[in-house]
Amino acid sequence: MTSVLHFCRRRSASLFAGLFGLALAVCAIVALLAWRRSPRRGLPYHDSFAAGKADEWKAFGGTWELADGGIRNDSDERGAKLVTGSPWWRNYTIEADVYLLGVSGDAGLLIRSSKEEEGVNAYSGYYAGVRTSDNSLVLGRADHGWQEETQRYPVANGIHPFQWYHLKLVAVGCEIAVSVGTTAQHDQTAFGISDPQCIASGRAGLRSYSSGSIWRNVFVRPATHQDIVEMLRKGSSHEPLLANTSEALSPNSPEALRDLEREQGLDAPVDRNVGNTRAQSIHSLLLASSAKPVRAMVRGVVVLTTPRLYVQDSSGGMYVSQYSGPPLRVGDDVEVRGEVHPGNFSSRMDHSAVQLLWGRSPVPPLSVTALQASTGRYDSTFIELHGLLTAKSRGPNDKLILDLNDGSQSFRAILNPGRSGALLSKLQLNSLLRLRGICVSDPSLTHNLTPFVLLLPSNEDLDVISGPPWWSTGHILALGISTALLAIISVILYHRIVDWRLRAILDERSRLAHEMHDTLAQSFAGIGFQLQAISNGVPKYMSQLHEQVELARDLVRHSHEEARRSIATLRAEALESEDVLGALEHCARRMVGNHMVVVATETQGDRRQIPLRTKDTLFRIGQEAVANAIRHAESSRISLRMVWADDKVTLYIEDDGIGFDPGSTSSGFGIRGMRRRAHAIAATLHIVSRAGAGASVWIEAPLPPRVTLASWPRILWKSMMEAWRHARTARTIGSHLYRG
């Protein structure tokens, strides 16, 4: 009773421990999910644009690059987006400084954004921005389609390009408010809306529409209803939001340009007439004298702003260094005046004055091959080409450097730091890339390692056409190792299955032995007792009947002994606890009984593990040989010897009996069974005997080779071939049985 109670207590304790562990695991999973979906995880957030990092931002359209402590989009794409943060952010505020680079369009902030895709209004969330076309502050909602809640909320002094504005957007519950202000104007405009079926949560982001822009000081923090009240109060009282986030107008007025011209020593003021005949083509500047600086004026389109300014017209491209003028974006039409320095393939203009004429869409790249670009014909020109990535690294100032080749021509591509950090880890060697950038043959960039380098404006100017081919050296090596491991596992599994099958056979033999012991052997014993009782009851004068009863008793005794021998043959308990030699010795001594027969054993060599099938076969053959020596040879000594070698084991059974002629008895059932067993394990059976000289039986069985680093391929191949032969034999037998 005590043991039962103790067992129940142990089971209850185990059950309680299991339930407690399960509860802890469930709580941990729930806590992890709650932490991942927490509306405050990752807040407050401040950008790292000034430190040159923006890997946590994801772009949907546009050309986003870090520049001057902020992030810049030079594209005038409609609805370019850049998002960050958690999709579970709920009540928070996002604010940033916004600088418009175009004379039309708008730029601003996203809040509670989700389901972002490339395209106009291809997202769900709220957007607020400043618009130059109607000088208004915009606030609205997009659900893959624009719903502007307030069509026009005018800003007192208008919205102007090349001006810093501080924009702040708040979402608390279903109330959304926005404010914008500048230090120069000392005012602030703010208003809010209430959306009954509001979007509950989403990421924060930046967005522009038909205008390039710059954002800096992006800050996101949790918000409450009091933040909305305070924002609207400041907007109504015209209080400035931040005193240090706005800057004066950019020097793009006629007075500023005239001052710039006087500083640069230009002979004449800039002519703002686009049809000015004094404008030269960029290609004609190659004919200028290199001995004496020559001043010239060209008109073209901006094709790159960072790390260098490149301008291109229909005749070619040019590098503009040491220039003064308004902030520019890719696609702007500009007029450039300065000193011309012709080069081998393109010109450079120093001490330049740049005037913005108007903005338009960026020029499309020229599609060329790397071999064509290496001639210098497209120096300082915006081109597109393909290349196979051979190496990637970080260069000076944390720039991303890509080594590529197109056929036999190699070249390099350089990408500005910032968002290229995430690109470095994603790009795989031997990928086929399509690149768009400025072809430059300047030795200060090529370092005379390649004929040209390609300056990429942004991450979006690099597309992966196809990944690396699968049949690489590493993949082939991995495939070979995987195949070898799979083959080893298959061979091990095959041998394990064979082992299981043999153990099943042995278990069945053991069951049959127990059945025979409980039925046949017990029946023989009962018949013997009954015959003994009959013999005791028969009168002595009935001698003939006594003889018949004794004969029947002898037959029963003999049959009982044969049944016991068969049972002993079927049983394999000895092999489970002893080796082959020990089991044979134990079996031989049991067979000898009280007879004066000496059983001697001997072992030579280093013992090794024997496969179960080989072990069982050696035991059965040795058991048959020992039984023959005891029953028929009339021997006085039986010698059992086992000799071990590297690749085989040999079992010897010798006796000093009367011997026999193996040729005349080779058709006997016992010897035929021994040969059949030996053949099943690829062993060799030898029987040597002659009349009066005893008998010697030995069997040589192969052993699995020792596995070493040099031998495992050969062992593996041999095991695979053996498994294949066994499978083919099984299929052949199965087909014969099916036909039969």
Q: Does domain 254-359 have CATH number 2.40.50.200?
A: yes
For the record, the structure tokens of 483 come out as 């195949």
Strand locations in 569-618, DSSP E?
598-604
The neighbouring-strand residues paired with 58 are 83
Helix runs in 265-378, H state only: 370-373
Residue 152 confidence (pLDDT): 59
Residue 396 confidence (pLDDT): 82
For the record, the structure tokens of 628 come out as 């023959």
Residue 128 confidence (pLDDT): 92
The Cα 351–Cα 260 span in angstroms is 11
Q: Is the pLDDT of residue 327 over 70?
A: yes
Averaged pLDDT for residues 313-319: 90
Residue 318 confidence (pLDDT): 92
The Cα 615–Cα 683 span in angstroms is 12
Which of the 8 DSSP states describes residue 518?
I
> In this structure, which topology does domain 366-466 adopt according to CATH?
OB fold (Dihydrolipoamide Acetyltransferase, E2P) (2.40.50)
Averaged pLDDT for residues 156-168: 86
The Cα 615–Cα 224 span in angstroms is 81
Domain boundaries, the chain: 1-36, 45-237, 254-359, 366-466, 474-571, 579-704
Which pTM was predicted?
Answer: 0.49
Contact 601, 578 (CB under 8 A): no
Residue 26 confidence (pLDDT): 83
Share of the chain above pLDDT 70, in %: 81
Band (249; pLDDT cuts 50, 70, 90): very low
Residue 2 confidence (pLDDT): 45
The Cα 575–Cα 588 span in angstroms is 14
Contact 641, 603 (CB under 8 A): yes
Q: What is the mean pLDDT of the chain?
A: 79
How far is the CA of 418 from the CAs of 57, 65, 72, 179, 341, in angstroms? Answer: 10, 7, 11, 29, 32
Least confident of 142-146, 169-173, 268-272, 559-563: 268-272
Highest mean pLDDT (candidates 267-276, 699-708, 725-734): 699-708
Residue 382 confidence (pLDDT): 94
Q: Which residues contact 222 (CB under 8 A, 6 or more apart)?
A: 40, 43, 44, 91, 92, 93
Neighbours of 247 (CB within 10 A): 15
Superfamily of domain 579-704: Histidine kinase-like ATPase, C-terminal domain (3.30.565.10)
> In this structure, which topology does domain 45-237 adopt according to CATH?
Jelly Rolls (2.60.120)
Residue 262 confidence (pLDDT): 42
Averaged pLDDT for residues 571-583: 67
Neighbours of 663 (CB within 10 A): 7
Averaged pLDDT for residues 134-151: 75
From the number of C-beta atoms within 10 Å of its C-beta (0-12, 13-18, 19+), residue 720 rates as middle
The Cα 172–Cα 200 span in angstroms is 9
Which of the 8 DSSP states describes residue 521?
I
The identity of residue 225, as a single letter, is H
For the record, the structure tokens of 610 come out as 């024997």
Highest mean pLDDT (candidates 149-163, 348-362, 491-505): 348-362
Pairwise pLDDT comparison (395 vs 562), residue with the higher score: 395
Q: Is the pLDDT of residue 250 over 80?
A: no
Pairing between strand 124-131 and 106-114? Answer: antiparallel
pLDDT tens digits, one per residue of 212-234? 899 999 999 999 988 888 888 87
Share of the chain above pLDDT 90, in %: 23
Residue 708 confidence (pLDDT): 60
Averaged pLDDT for residues 172-199: 83
Averaged pLDDT for residues 654-672: 73
SS3 82: strand
pLDDT tens digits, one per residue of 261-311? 444 333 333 333 333 347 888 988 887 777 777 889 999 999 998 888 999
For the record, the structure tokens of 254 come out as 């006629």
The Cα 105–Cα 656 span in angstroms is 114
Domain 254-359 and domain 366-466, same fold? Reply is: yes
Pairing between strand 78-84 and 366-367? Answer: unpaired
Band (712; pLDDT cuts 50, 70, 90): low
The Cα 449–Cα 344 span in angstroms is 17
The identity of residue 388, as a single letter, is L
Residue 336 confidence (pLDDT): 93
Least confident of 99-113, 265-279, 579-593, 701-715: 265-279
Q: Which residue has the tokens 């504005």?
A: 165
Whose CA is closest to 213, among 415, 71, 49, 117? 71
Q: Is the pLDDT of residue 592 over 80?
A: no
Which of the 8 DSSP states describes residue 519?
I
For the record, the structure tokens of 399 come out as 């720039």
Averaged pLDDT for residues 519-536: 76
